[in-house]
Structures are given as C-alpha cells and as structure tokens.
Amino acid sequence: MTRDPQTSHRVWRLGADVDTDQLAPGAYMKYGIDEIARHCLERVRPDFAGGVQPGDVIVAGPNFGIGSSREQAAQALVTLGLRAVIAPSFSGLYFRNAFNVGLLLLTCPQAERIQEGERIRIDLLGDRIITGDGAALPCEPIPGFLRDMVDAGGLLNLLKRRLADGTLKPNPMRA
C-alpha cells in the first residue's frame, strides 16, 4: 500500500453485528451517497457522521456488515473518509463490496483490545495493528489484488488504470 505506515488513526468503537441498514439506512436509499453518508450509523452512534475525520477507523465486534447486499453501506464509509474497518469477522457480501469501493477491511481476532478514541497504526506489510501502547495485534493477510483495489480507490478505478497502462486489454476474453 502506498499510504504512510507511520500515520496514526483515531478509533471509533462499535459492537457486534453492525448491519447494512445501520450503515446506509433504508429511508435514505432514494438519495445520493452524500445524503446516505450523513445518516451513517445514526441509530447506534448519532455523533459518528458529523464527527468522523478523514483517516479515522472503525473497530467493531464480529459480523460487521451483516444484512443486505447494498454497496452503499461500504460507500458511505468511504464518502466520510474512513481509512479502514477492523473487526474479528465480516459478512462475505460486505467484505467484497468494501474492497470493490476501495474500503480497507482488516480481520483482526483481537480487535476487542482496541479502545474508543485510541490512536493506532496499521502495518499492512506486517499484517498487524499497532495499538497506542505499542502492542502488535495480528490480522489476516490481505491478498495483493485486494490491496491494489484499495490503493486505486476501488475496482472500477483499478480497471480504468489497468486499461490506461496496458496491463488489461479491452476484451480479455477475446484473444
């Protein structure tokens, strides 16, 4: 990843089973992503959308992103400038949607050790989180192609870049 590994990130703590309707409330789905993002997590953290700063991270309990397959649930966090979501586990649909829109997800079995408001560092080369007190919490490795998607700002941006630089042909199925 091209981001500075020495950058620290402020933590917003959430519990387990955060669902897509909390992240992108259904009542706002008829609006654009900016409006949806303004209501992100308002039922569980009314202070979140107005207080989150670019580079902040969410640390949550297990099963983050359960519920519907709405891509806006991940896109709302990207729109708000979130750097990453760290949790012991994620919904499979949410996991793929998040990387598709350029949101970094880190599967960290010891995420519960990270506290609200703590400043942490993300060490992607070492597949770990460095807590404010210096503890290293291991994360599951992220495959290179998913890191590339995050670096590019999502799958569509990655494909556009690869088309432009010639590493992806316009019709790869036609040889």
Report yes or no: 12 and 120 within 8 Å, Cβ to Cβ: no
With respect to residue 174, please indicate whether it lies within any of the assigned structural domains. Answer: no
Q: Quick one: how many helices (H) and strands (E) in the chain?
A: 7, 7
Nearest partner of 87 among 14, 1, 3, judged by Cα:
14
User: For position 14, which CATH number holds?
Assistant: 3.20.19.10
Distance CA 36, CA 30 (A): 9
With respect to residue 132, please indicate whether it lies within any of the assigned structural domains. Answer: yes
First to last CA, the chain: 32
Report yes or no: 2 and 47 within 8 Å, Cβ to Cβ: no
> Is the predicted pLDDT of residue 172 greater than 90, yes or no?
no
Which tens digit of pLDDT belongs to each residue from 14-33?
999 999 999 999 999 999 99
Report yes or no: 76 and 36 within 8 Å, Cβ to Cβ: yes
Report yes or no: 25 and 42 within 8 Å, Cβ to Cβ: yes
How many domains would you assign to the chain? 1
> Is the predicted pLDDT of residue 64 greater than 50, yes or no?
yes
With respect to residue 84, please indicate whether it lies within any of the assigned structural domains. Answer: yes
Mean pLDDT across 72-85: 98
With respect to residue 161, please indicate whether it lies within any of the assigned structural domains. Answer: no
Mean pLDDT across 67-75: 94
Confidence grade of residue 78 (pLDDT, cut at 50, 70, 90): very high
For residue 63, the enclosing domain spans 8-141
Mean pLDDT across 33-39: 98
With respect to residue 95, please indicate whether it lies within any of the assigned structural domains. Answer: yes
| pLDDT score at 130 | 97
Which tens digit of pLDDT belongs to each residue from 111-170?
999 999 999 999 999 999 999 999 999 999 999 999 999 999 999 999 999 989 988 877
> Is the predicted pLDDT of residue 2 greater than 90, yes or no?
no
Angle at 12 between CA 11 and CA 14, to 5 degrees: 130
Percent of the chain with pLDDT over 70: 94
> Which of 6-10, 87-91, 159-163, 166-170 has the least mean pLDDT?
166-170
| pLDDT score at 175 | 55
